[in-house]
Amino acid sequence: MADHYEVLGVSRDATPDEIKKAYRRLARELHPDVNPGAEASERFKEVTHAYDVLSDPKQRQQYDLGGQGGFGGAQGFGGFGDIFETFFGGGGQTRGPRSRRERGQDALIRVEVGLDEVIFGTHRDLEVDSAVLCETCNGSCCQPGTSPVTCDICHGSGQIQRTVRSLLGNVMTSSPCGTCRGYGTIIATPCVTCQGQGRVRARRTVPVDIPAGVDTGLRLQMPGSGEAGPAGGPNGDLYLEIKVKTHDVFSRNGDDLLCTIEVQMSDAVLGTTTTIPALDGDVDVELKPGLQAGEVITVKDRGVTRLRGSGRGDLKIGVQVVTPTKLSHKERQLIEQFAQAHKPQKPQLSHFQQGLFARLRDRFLG
């Protein structure tokens, strides 16, 4: 068998580009459609086989180490399934040219929103850096005024068929054309803006309506808002991962909003009304006489709008009664009079009671 390097007319230390250029030159000269002679046909097969071996780094390394023909016998395959796949192209069917147009990749960005924005939803104009359609060539990959040309090696089929001697005898094998890489066409004059890709990277603005009721970790899908595909292919999808910022006063449990109010001892005894500045406006709250520490006051329909379903959750206000630590002389006298009027007795053991925060937790969540 002739030396593959001699067949292509290159040195043994030739670069992949030099090997490719040599093959293209010989393939155009010896192709059966150009040179129909039997001798040229055999020469074409020999040149193509040599290129198949030397253009594959693994086969070339094996050949340089003394392998036979670059295939290495039956050991070069993972089994008979690989043999038939290589020889017959998967079931013996001839593949057509593959399309340059491909779907773009999906993109993921993280969006941080405030707890107040979660109640009714919000709108954002997001700046996204991604692949977009090339405006110069409009996705054609070609310089304006030009178009892809049919490959003169595979004549637009994207496949090269040839007869190869193997363990099974002479068989017909089909493989992607090395000249056009299986596309069937060649971009002779690529677009200078996108370098023949049909897309460029750019910053664009994506308007987003974030629905009410979202929570940290939720992902919203925006079909067709992701990366533009090569050669004018369809866009992928854009996914928004939500993170809700922690609030200093309010927290969230499902669709309910939770907060704590500090009540003076006198107001807890006598009762009063107060106004709380909630996330969506003021809320009037009635504190009934005899209010106990750890009680939870529920204000209906002032929580978060439900993401799925209708209506809103509740606002739950935990009560913390504040015991004064510094008293004036007059205030102390009044407290003492109050204590005498209620027949004071010494502190004594009672049934176990949970602490304030434990009670608030159980009542909030319970």
Residue 177 is assigned to a ligand binding site: yes
* Domain-wise residue ranges, the chain: 4-76, 107-149+182-244, 251-365
pLDDT at residue number 365: 61
Confidence of residue 74 (pLDDT cuts 50, 70, 90): very low
For the cut 50, the answer to whether the pLDDT of residue 72 exceeds it is no
For the cut 70, the answer to whether the pLDDT of residue 23 exceeds it is yes
pLDDT at residue number 362: 64
Query: Which architecture does CATH list for 107-149+182-244?
Result: Sandwich (2.60)
Domain 4-76 - what CATH class? Answer: mainly alpha
CB pairs under 8 A, 24+ apart, for 84-88? 86/173, 86/175, 87/164, 87/166, 87/168, 87/171, 87/172, 87/173, 88/171, 88/172, 88/173, 88/174
Residue 259 is assigned to a ligand binding site: no
Superfamily of domain 251-365: Urease metallochaperone UreE, N-terminal domain (2.60.260.20)
Confidence of residue 88 (pLDDT cuts 50, 70, 90): very low
Confidence of residue 34 (pLDDT cuts 50, 70, 90): low
Q: What does the mean pLDDT of the chain come to?
A: 83
Residue 141 is assigned to a ligand binding site: no
Residue 154 is assigned to a ligand binding site: yes
Same topology, domains 4-76 and 107-149+182-244? Answer is no
Residue 137 is assigned to a ligand binding site: yes
